[in-house]
Amino acid sequence: MNGFEQAIGSLDLKLFEKISSQSNDHDKKSLMACQLAARELAPGYVYLEIGSYLGGSIQPHLLDPDCRRIYSIDKRPLVQPDERGVDYTYLNNSTARMLENLRGVAPEQVAKVVTIDGDTGEIATSEIGEKVTLCFIDGEHTDEAVLRDFRFCLEVLDERGAILFDDANIIYNGIADCLEYLKAKKIDFRAFNLPDKIFAVTIGDFPIHRNERLHERILDNYQSYLYSLQSNDFYRKFVNKRPFRLYRKLMVKLKGLNKFD
Ligand SMILES: C[S@@+](CC[C@H](N)C(=O)[O-])C[C@H]1O[C@@H](n2cnc3c(N)ncnc32)[C@H](O)[C@@H]1O
């Protein structure tokens, strides 16, 4: 077994070591488990990602001999809106910088990367020349952008494949909209969350959950449940501050919501 096969088979974090990524170690392992499962089901797979920044989440696919093409879509705005209500700034965010980073990982593989600067609202799906097996949505963290990115991914996805989201604890309403969209369109899907903040949707007959490594992570999804709630606990602490608590107590009392008979 060669070094890459061994590393992906054991979800070895060294596949992420050369370029820093905004995912934590649990997320990286979940992403690798999905990659492992997808490459088994669709050897020679095509990977598409929306939101690449420095190239951190591209590196395991760049190193993967089973990945024949990588599409990286990134608008690279200086400031991006976010559902948390605070805008985020990315300095020196450029495609040239990302490609330089990727050359440092596997220079001979960079030719398989196709970069598209823009967002999915302005890019034609015909720019994606091959059907995609695995998508990763990690661009603008607003519910509106998430649904737009998801619909784009659905259009370029093969008959069967998977679409992953990062930061599910932030864009959960956008994910809910995506699932409603699938239901409205009567598209068969499965969906599950993975530690810590990855959310996976599979389309068609694409049973990545049967992969042993991924299955273990699905069974450990208590971590993503707790991570998500605890990361939002700030809001509960806020509404429990004295003036808000007094107001809530009053409202509950007036409406009789705190009485059980
Ligand atoms: C969280 S970072 C991506 C991190 C990367 N996936 C990683 O794991 O290292 C978000 C990226 O989304 C890009 N972005 C922001 N708004 C976007 C949009 N509307 N469409 C596409 N990409 C966008 C930003 O330029 C930034 O590079």
- The tokens describing 231, both together, are 């990361």
In a domain, 251, yes or no: no
Tell me, using a 6 A CB cutoff, whether residue 73 lines ligand 1.
yes
Tell me, what CATH number does 158's domain have? 3.40.50.150
Interval between CA 119 and ligand 1 midpoint (Å): 10
Q: What is d(CA 92, CA 9) in angstroms, rounded to the nearest whole number? A: 34
User: Which residue range is the domain that position 189 belongs to?
Assistant: 3-220
3-state secondary structure of 142: coil
Tell me, using a 6 A CB cutoff, whether residue 164 lines ligand 1.
no
Using alpha carbons, list the distances in angstroms from residue 257 to 131, 173, 241, 246. 53, 27, 20, 15
Tell me, using a 6 A CB cutoff, whether residue 138 lines ligand 1.
yes
In a domain, 233, yes or no: no
In a domain, 236, yes or no: no
Interval between CA 58 and ligand 1 midpoint (Å): 12
Q: Do you find a cis peptide bond into 196, omega within 30 degrees of 0?
A: yes
In a domain, 108, yes or no: yes
For residue 2, what pLDDT is reported? 85
Which of ligand 1's atoms lies nearest the C-alpha of 120? 20
Asked if 134 and 47 touch (Cβ cutoff 8 Å), the reply is yes
Interval between CA 261 and ligand 1 midpoint (Å): 52
In a domain, 238, yes or no: no
Which of ligand 1's atoms lies nearest the C-alpha of 57? 8
Residue from 20, 29, 90 to probe ligand 1 pocket by mutation (most atoms less than 8 Å from CB): 90
Q: What is d(CA 93, CA 85) in angstroms, rounded to the nearest whole number? A: 22
In a domain, 197, yes or no: yes
Which of ligand 1's atoms lies nearest the C-alpha of 149? 20
Q: Whose CA is nearest to atom 5 of ligand 1?
A: 52
For residue 244, what pLDDT is reported? 93
| pTM of the shown model | 0.96
Q: What is d(CA 242, CA 232) in angstroms, rounded to the nearest whole number? A: 19
In a domain, 177, yes or no: yes
In a domain, 8, yes or no: yes
List the pLDDT tens digit at each of the 261 positions of the chain. Answer: 689 999 999 999 999 999 999 899 999 999 999 999 999 999 999 999 999 999 999 999 999 999 999 999 999 999 999 999 899 999 999 999 999 999 999 999 999 999 999 999 999 999 999 999 999 999 999 999 999 999 999 999 999 999 999 999 999 999 999 999 999 999 999 999 999 999 999 999 999 999 999 999 999 999 999 999 999 999 999 999 999 999 999 999 999 888 888
DSSP 178-200: HHHHHHHTT--EEEEEETTTEEE
Q: Whose CA is nearest to atom 24 of ligand 1?
A: 76
Q: Minimal CA–CA distance to 151: which of 131, 179, 130, 170?
A: 179
The total of structural domains in the chain comes to 1
Q: Whose CA is nearest to atom 9 of ligand 1?
A: 21
